[in-house]
Amino acid sequence: MKLTRKQFDLLEALATNNNPLTQRQLEELTKYSLGTINKVMKELTEYGFVVNGNITDNGFIALEPYRVKRAIFIAAGFGSRLVPITFNTPKPLVRVHGKRIIDGLLDACLEAGINEIYIVRGYLAEQFDQLLYKYPMIKFLENPVYNEANNISSSMCARYMLSNAYVFEADLLISNPKIIKKYHYTSNFLSIKKDRTDDWCVDVKDGIIINEKVGGIDCWQLVGISYWDEEDGHKLSYDIKEVYEQPGGKERYWEQVPLVYCRNHYKVEVRECLEEDIVEIDTFRELKAIDKTYDV
């Protein structure tokens, strides 16, 4: 059976927060009223998904269609704004306080039980082999045109793997691994609520992304982490190819496919995170500000 959104949210909370939880704790986690929680918990108990406040084996089976199956890392680019560090090192492998940038995201995936991991590589591709010592489960996808196309070319390499999948920009420094979740109800883009931003952002109506743009007021700044459910992953496999093969298609960013050029095919939710949860280091100056060992 397909779970309702409220049934999913309560089951997911129980599955990922060491159940049983009190109704007050569920209220805090889900933002539902106590009346709603009481009603939905009765439904879940009747279905045999919850017993005495604990999720059952059948409850985990009910969550299985919503489990994240794989993670795709877009990591083929040059990282030109981080020169001179990226002359010899791909940006995701740059170390911050002694740890590679990509390691935090990989560790968060493994903590969430996501073990099927693909990295799309291009620039200095062989250097990514070093990851296999710590992460032997990684599989690499080669992007042969990374230096003549935008990151839509990397999504082309992975377009048949996007169902029930996270897609990560591989150069994000994560400080709150809990934003990487084991289950998702539907496709979403991690974003930060902003009064004003000059970065890539989206307009949102009723929780659904309706437009992507650069710079805006009272909008949501994209973080570079998205999740795609089974149905949307299948649609993306066709839509990415169609946009890529259009005139000028190679110059697109991959997320413009579902958020701009084919947005009528998708209802992508915004999923909130906080400024302190994750940082994208765009420039060498920002890197030096975070890690003083580079400030020499």
96 and 170 assigned to the same domain: yes
Q: Are residues 181 and 56 in the same domain?
A: no
Range of lowest pLDDT (84-93, 177-186, 237-246):
84-93
The CATH number that applies at residue 233 is 3.90.550.10
Q: What is the pLDDT of residues 80-127, one digit of tens each?
A: 777 777 788 899 999 999 999 999 999 999 999 999 999 999 999 999
- Tell me the residue range of the domain where 103 lies: 67-294
Boundary of a domain, candidates 40, 65, 90: 65
Contacts of 115 (CB under 8 A, 6+ apart): 109, 137
pLDDT of residue 28: 86
Quick one: average pLDDT of 128-155?
96
Same domain membership, residue 72 and residue 61 = no
Boundary of a domain, candidates 43, 65, 87: 65
- Entry pTM: 0.94
CATH number of the domain where residue 31 is located? 1.10.10.10
> Once rounded to an integer, what is the mean pLDDT over residues 230-251?
97
